[in-house]
């Protein structure tokens, strides 16, 4: 039996969350075209007859501006410390040199595979040049080209990953897909809709806290707070006559029902907490 931790690192928007979902065969990490969508380290447990791989999606590597960003970079640091193998994901449309500088700064102590993502939208010559560049980097054991969105190259990548894992007993028993609680995924699905429905500012100033999760006979009752920093942001979340929060609730409910496989009753509340992104106590309360 082989078992190990395979952790995904890269710049914001390189496709880390899409890759995690493709490798897990389930949607566990939320996805949007906006940067910094991922704020937590999200683990996905993939188990088959002779192998267990614990994948981790990590926040995009950034220069911290708030305590929230510091917490996100701490999640990256934690993932560096327990990795057996690193997947260094690169948007194939971007400069290899810029990504290489970020990867070198990680000071990896484990083997790494460089994953050239979005290969379906890049010319062959550009891909070849990037492949040759990364093959020459000291941390790189192999370069793999994929399209995480189209699940192209995922099976070959999984086979290659297993060759780098140590022989070990499984870390997790049973058929759980993650070690995170259900409430976490519910809050993330709501937050994903905030990224999709609102302008550039709001998603970065908002977080979601599930304060009620009650399983009743016919449905699950869920109550969640959407936390923002200013009254004006609360007004934007609500929308005229509550139109936007109603739309948010409707869209989130569909995804949560699909995720839980059950009918839900969802209540959303908007609360203003000034400067919560720099408040240690509030960050802890909100799960950071």
The neighbouring-strand residues paired with 3 are: 52
Smallest Cα–Cα separation from 82: which of 109, 48, 114, 101? 109
80/64 Cα distance (integer angstroms) = 18
Tens-digit pLDDT profile for residues 224-282: 999 999 999 999 999 999 999 999 999 999 999 999 999 999 999 999 999 999 999 99
pLDDT (0 to 100) of residue 175: 82
Percent of residues, the chain, with pLDDT higher than 70: 100
Model pLDDT for residues 85-126, shown as the tens digit of each residue: 999 999 999 999 999 999 999 999 999 999 999 999 999 999
Mean pLDDT for 135-141 is 94
Output the pLDDT for position 199. 85
Is residue 134 pLDDT above 90, yes or no? yes
Q: What is the pLDDT of residue 200?
A: 78
pLDDT per residue as tens digits for the range 174-207 = 888 898 999 999 999 999 999 999 987 899 999 9
Q: Using an 8 Å Cβ cutoff, are 42 and 57 in contact?
A: yes
Give the C-alpha separation, 41 to 142, whole Å.
24
Task: Using alpha carbons, select from 115, 107, 146 the residue that is nearest to residue 8.
Answer: 115
pLDDT of res. 284: 95
Q: What DSSP line would sit under 204-242, residue for residue?
A: HH-EEEEEEEEE-SS-EEEEEEEEESSHHHHHHHH-GGG
Region 145-170: mean pLDDT is 95
Cα gap 226→14, rounded to integer Å: 27
Average pLDDT value for the chain: 94
Q: How confident is the model at residue 33 (pLDDT cuts 50, 70, 90)?
A: confident
Whole-prediction pTM value? Answer: 0.91
Picking from 103, 107, 84, the residue whose alpha carbon sits closest to that of residue 6 is: 84
Span 9-15, average pLDDT: 92
| CA 176 to each of CA 18, 19, 46, 171, 272: distance values in angstroms, whole numbers, following the listed order | 20, 19, 9, 12, 35
């Amino acid at each position: 039996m082989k078992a190990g931790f395979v952790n995904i690192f890269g710049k914001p928007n390189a496709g880390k969350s899409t890759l995690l979902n493709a490798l897990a065969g389930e949607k566990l990490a939320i996805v949007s075209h906006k940067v910094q969508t991922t704020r937590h380290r999200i683990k996905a447990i993939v188990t088959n007859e002779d192998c267990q791989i614990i994948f981790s999606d990590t926040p995009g590597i950034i220069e911290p501006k708030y305590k929230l960003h510091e917490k996100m970079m701490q999640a990256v640091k934690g993932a560096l410390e327990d990795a057996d193998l690193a997947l260094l994901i690169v948007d194939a449309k971007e400069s290899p040199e810029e990504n290489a500088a970020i990867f070198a700064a990680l000071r990896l102590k484990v083997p790494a595979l460089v994953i050239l993502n979005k290969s379906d939208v890049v010319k062959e010559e550009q891909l070849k040049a990037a492949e040759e560049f990364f093959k020459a980097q000291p941390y790189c054991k192999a370069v793999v080209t994929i399209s995480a969105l189209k699940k192209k190259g995922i099976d070959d990548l999984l086979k290659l990953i297993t060759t780098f894992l140590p022989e070990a007993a499984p870390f997790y028993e049973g058929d759980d897909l993650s070690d995170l609680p259900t409430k976490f995924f519910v809050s993330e699905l709501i937050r994903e809709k905030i990224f999709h429905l609102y302008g550039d500012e709001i998603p970065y100033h908002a977080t979601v806290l599930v304060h009620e999760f009650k399983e009743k006979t016919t449905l699950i009752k869920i109550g969640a707070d959407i936390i923002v920093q200013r009254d004006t942001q609360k007004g934007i979340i609500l929308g005229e006559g509550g139109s936007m929060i109603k739309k948010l609730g409707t869209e989130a409910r569909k995804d949560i029902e699909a995720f839980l496989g059950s009918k839900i009753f969802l209540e959303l509340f908007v609360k203003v907490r000034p400067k919560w992104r720099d408040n240690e106590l509030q960050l802890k309360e909100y799960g950071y």
